[in-house]
Amino acid sequence: DWANNGLIRVLLLGESGVGKNGSDLCHYWKQWQSYLCGLRKCYSYEKTILMDDEDITITFIDDWKKDLSLLTFDICLLIFSLTDRQSFHYAVELRLRVREAHPQCPIILVGNKSDLVRSREVTYEDASANATLFQCQYFETSAALDHNTFQLLEEVVKRLRSTERMG
Ligand code: GDP
Ligand code: MG
């Protein structure tokens, strides 16, 4: 439950290199504290944001490689790189696996690296049509320029609040 005292767990899934975490380039990960969560060899990061006068702590679970059904999370971000068509197909495949293990879990499809305009391999139309087909939302971000990333987090919070309201 989201109301879990303003704590939410976000699962990040996607092919390697799409921008789930990492380099100094990425403001949206930079400030985040990272730590190894136990023996599961899964990295998670915590970030506290202020939204509507409320502190919300988001735990990002990065790059889960094991059985998805073992994992507890509130929402899944399926991330691909707009400059890598293969990573888009992989995200589509991952979505089937998430749906199988967590049929009710909210999913948001995220096309990252929107700043690399000239090497784009996936159009907005393609990705958003695909998201519509599978009844999930679609967002384009640039972690490098910190573009649309806060809006994405806002959407995550809004989405979970509305799920909570519906019970
Ligand atoms: P991960 O393997 O999914 O965790 O990907 P990383 O977060 O390690 O990022 C892989 C590479 O993509 C790094 O060199 C990042 O600097 C770069 N990268 C990540 N996000 C963006 C972005 O929005 N724009 C650009 N141009 N590069 C990015
Ligand atoms: Mg990574």
The model carries a pTM of 0.86
**89: burial class by Cβ within 10 Å (0-12, 13-18, 19+)?**
middle
Q: Ligand 1 centre from 17 Cα, in Å?
A: 6
Mutate which of 15, 23, 86, 150 for ligand 1 pocket (most atoms within 8 A of beta carbon): 23
Number of Cβ within a 10 Å radius of residue 110: 29
Ligand 1 atom index nearest CA of 23: 16
Identity of residue 24:
D
Contact 80, 112 (CB under 8 A): yes
- Coil, strand, or helix at residue 60? strand
pLDDT digits (tens, 9 = 90+) for 17-69: 898 764 433 444 444 433 333 333 445 667 777 778 888 888 777 766 678 88
